[in-house]
Structure 1
Amino acid sequence: MSVMLLADRALAAIACQLGQPTGFAGRVVGRLLNRGNRSVVIAAIDAADVAVGSVVADIGFGGGVGLDVLLQRVGAAGSVHGVEMSPTMLAEAGRRFSDDIADGRLRLHEGRMENLPLPDTSLDAIISTNTIYFVEELATALRELVRVLRPTGRLVLGVGDPDQMSKMPFTRHGFRLRPMEQVIDAIREAGFARVDDRRVGDGPMGFHILVCVKVL
């Protein structure tokens, strides 16, 4: 087997773990994602303007750093929903946040953005970072996010700059790197009245923080 083929398989495996961390390797990836994505996740939570006592969600929470910060922000009177398609990440979060789950402050759900296991108009805010690259039907997913948000709710998406991400070798394996104009148009068509595109960082680490306000 050629070196190039081995390298390509290794890159495909990395991409697969980033999309859906699984098993021992997935647990390692989750911890790495917590460290690498913390600043972007916090920027998204800041932009979501999460209030004490609110009901919020992290969709595709991965290693769980967003769940931790959201629980702190909503306080004892609020609650957090975590939606994740990776059973490995759900199990890790279940162990890490067992006390919050027992207290009813955190509820974990297995699911995908295209079919959220949440009631209509049940959330004050949603964050989701590094997720839409793994969503095939973006319009369907965005309509689901509109459905579960309250009329005054706010969605914040953290999205890596597609031009920079296209230069990363593993992103050719299953990543959907849509132009930002296409993403923003899809958000507006789904039912968000305003989309503010804020930047965090520059160069390869540059991220778009898309702050989306629902149509009243």
Structure 2
Amino acid sequence: MAPGGSAWFCGAVRIPDGLLTRLAVQLGRPHGVAGRAVGRMLNRGNRAVITAAVAAATDGAGGGAFADIGFGGGAGLALLLERAGREGRVVGVEIARTMLDAARSRFRADIAAGRLELHEAPMDALPLPDDSLDALISTNTIYFIEDLAPAFGQLVRVVRPSGRVVLGVGDPVAMAKMPVTRHRFRLRPMAEVIAALDEAGLSLLEDRRVGNRDAFHLLICRRRA
């Protein structure tokens, strides 16, 4: 059926809007048994953009303090821990308790060693000190944020002057073709996202296309001093 109808047809399979809505809810905040499956799916499906985001944020450097905001299935945490090395530290912030519980189990040795700390919080209320990070990444998060200004303001606050913020965002034109994004997603033009980053105090260094058929924009930014 057309967008706005009661179902979506994929070949001969009819997918009701109610199922798409439940999937959208899980993508925004994975929870329960289904949420754990969604976390694994996100790790697989977003591997390319997460890997590229970590490389762009850390710029090949060992040590330092890095964060993944909205870490989902935890793939970014694992890569940041590798990049930080024994002398560095990593922070993970997530709103989904199911994802936090999974990360606490998976990374318990790193938590015990003081290399990783995890927090339950939204992007617009980060429980982190000012100027405490060398760089941070956040991928596939802004579709579920109502107001970008306070969220991006928090990213700027916790990153040190000249520190990097790397945002992974699905191309809005491509994402608009996915039926699930009609439910609870906020798809913004890239110009609007980039303008919000600039207003928050972040200078765009590069809008890099990554993923299958350039499906993602990797917005590589530096905090203005």
Q: Is the shorter-chain TM-score for this pair beyond 0.5, marking a shared fold? A: yes
Equivalent residue letter for 1:4 = A
**What is the one-letter code of the residue matched to 2:35?**
G
1:4 to 7, 19, 41: 7
User: Runs (4+) of structure 1 moved beyond 6 Å?
Assistant: none
Instruction: Tell me which residue corresponds to 1:108.
Output: 118
Q: Gaps spanning 5+ residues in structure 1: where?
A: none
Scaled by the length of structure 1, the TM-score of the pair is 0.95
Equivalence for 2:43? 34
Report the RMSD for the aligned CA atoms in angstroms.
1.6
Work out the CA distance in 1 between the residues paired with 2:212 and 2:104: 35
Alignment correspondent of 1:85 = 95
Whichever structure has more helix as a proportion of its residues is: 1
Query: Do residues 194 (structure 1) and 197 (structure 2) align?
Result: no
Q: Which residue of 1 is the match for residue 85 of structure 2?
A: 75
Q: Is the 8 A contact 1:184 1:195 kept in 2?
A: no
- Per-residue CA deviations over 1:129-183 (Å, capped at 9, x if unaligned) read 0001011110110010000000120000000000000110010111010000000
Q: 1:23 to 1:202 in 2, by over 3 A?
A: closer
State TM-score, norm by structure 2.
0.92
Which amino acid counterpart does residue 204 of structure 2 have in structure 1?
A: R
Are 2:160 and 1:157 aligned? no
In the alignment, residue 94 of structure 2 is paired with which amino acid?
E
Q: Given that residues 188 and 195 in structure 1 are in contact (C-alpha distance below 8 angstroms), is that contact kept between their aligned partners in structure 2?
A: no
How many residue pairs match? The answer is 214
Identity percentage of aligned residues = 60
- CA separation in 1, counterparts of 2:81 and 2:150? 28
**What SS does the aligned partner of 2:162 have?**
strand
SS class of match (1:128) = strand
